[in-house]
Amino acid sequence: MILPQSVLRAFDPKVFDLCEPYRTTEAQMPVEYAFPNGRWKHDDWAMFKDTTRRSTARRVPLPFKGLEGKFEKRWMLWDTNYPTAPDTKIETRTYWTAGGVFNLPHALVDCAIEDSGWASFACYLNGEWVPCFKSYRAIVAGRRLAYYSGGLKQDVTCSVRDDGSIRSDIMGWWDPPTCSFNKIKENV
């Protein structure tokens, strides 16, 4: 079953409409999620697994800016080919892989602090910062509870191949509300 765009829009109609110009082409999709060789459907969702990832992808400027709650700035590996939000600090930093040591771009990104309660974020759309995303993270009864409001969320995941090239999953995603309640893994 496919999650209709009208249902996704219902979570935040204003932001959804502002994101329409940022819909992706197949060529703009991260390789990992591109049709036909990637995981091009949301097969990791509990429901609506036939929904295509491209239908929820928005190539909005990233990273988001923290607004309220507990968040911290972290240097994250960065794909400089992706649209970057204004005033984002980017610097070259040393990165170690099995293939060697590389000097690669990193961006200073606002990230919710693990297990710290509510945090809200804004995306830079049409020349202004627009509130778009809320998360809640806590430890409850020895388990990690994570809740994400429906709407636009960011994925700023990059990794480095052994040759030093960047494999980027960076993208804005329009998702329904999600919740997880997972056992905390013990350090071995």
For residue 185, the model assigns a pLDDT of 76
Q: How far apart are CA 86 and CA 177, in angstroms?
A: 28
Q: How far is residue 77 CA from its own chain's centroid?
A: 13
Quote the pTM value. 0.90
Domain total of the chain? 1
For residue 187, the model assigns a pLDDT of 61
Burial class (CB in 10 A: 0-12, 13-18, 19+), 156: buried
For residue 114, the model assigns a pLDDT of 85
Interval 16-35 mean pLDDT: 95
For residue 188, the model assigns a pLDDT of 52
Residue 18 lies in a domain: yes
Q: How far apart are CA 181 and CA 138, in angstroms?
A: 10
Residue 188 lies in a domain: no
pLDDT 10s digits, 149-166:
889 999 999 999 989 999
Domain that holds residue 154: 5-183
Q: How far apart are CA 95 and CA 76, in angstroms?
A: 11
pLDDT 10s digits, 78-119:
999 999 999 999 999 999 888 899 999 999 999 998 888 999
Residue 16 lies in a domain: yes
Q: How far apart are CA 157 and CA 31, in angstroms?
A: 13
Residue 21 lies in a domain: yes
Residue 149 lies in a domain: yes
